[in-house]
């Protein structure tokens, strides 16, 4: 399991809060049947939203890579919404690239147009994105 901890200060808040993101180890999901064979799944928990998101991939490395992109986008979205994210020990701000307005839409279009992903998998991925960025 991977745990990422950080201080989060929301706009108009007086204090920072200790937040974290946990990512489970990738494992084969035996609860669902996919038309292309086994899929690996990682569960991602965001403490600031109190939500768990399953993320599927074709192998453990690809699954972790995609989850890392999801975490990066989540943090960029927090920054775009006026939050500040910093280190716990020295309160140094995190350096993250700015998120463009159409970034998420581009990622959604990539998933929709990917011929290597079944429609069932596309629906599951897009549902996760919708939930993550409500």
Burial class (CB in 10 A: 0-12, 13-18, 19+), 71: middle
Residue 97: the pLDDT is: 72
Residue 56 near residue 36 (C-beta atoms within 8 A): no
- What domain range includes position 64? 2-132
> How many domains, the chain?
1
pLDDT tens across 15-74, in order? 888 899 999 999 887 776 666 667 888 999 999 888 888 888 888 888 888 888 888 888
Task: Report pTM.
Answer: 0.68
pLDDT tens across 82-113, in order? 888 999 888 888 887 766 667 667 777 877 88
């Amino acid at each position: 399991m991977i745990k990422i901890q950080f201080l989060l200060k929301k706009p108009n808040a007086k204090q920072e809060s200790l937040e974290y993101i946990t990512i489970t180890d990738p494992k084969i999901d035996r609860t669902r049947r996919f038309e292309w064979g086994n899929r690996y799944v990682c569960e991602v928990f965001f403490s600031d939203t109190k939500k768990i998101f399953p993320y599927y991939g074709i192998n453990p490395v690809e699954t972790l890579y995609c989850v890392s992109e999801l975490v990066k986008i989540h943090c960029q979205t927090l920054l775009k919404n006026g939050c500040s994210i910093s280190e716990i020990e020295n309160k140094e701000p995190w350096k993250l690239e700015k998120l463009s307005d159409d970034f998420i839409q581009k990622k959604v279009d990539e998933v929709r147009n990917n011929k290597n992903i079944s429609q069932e998998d596309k629906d599951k991925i897009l549902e996760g994105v919708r939930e993550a960025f409500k």
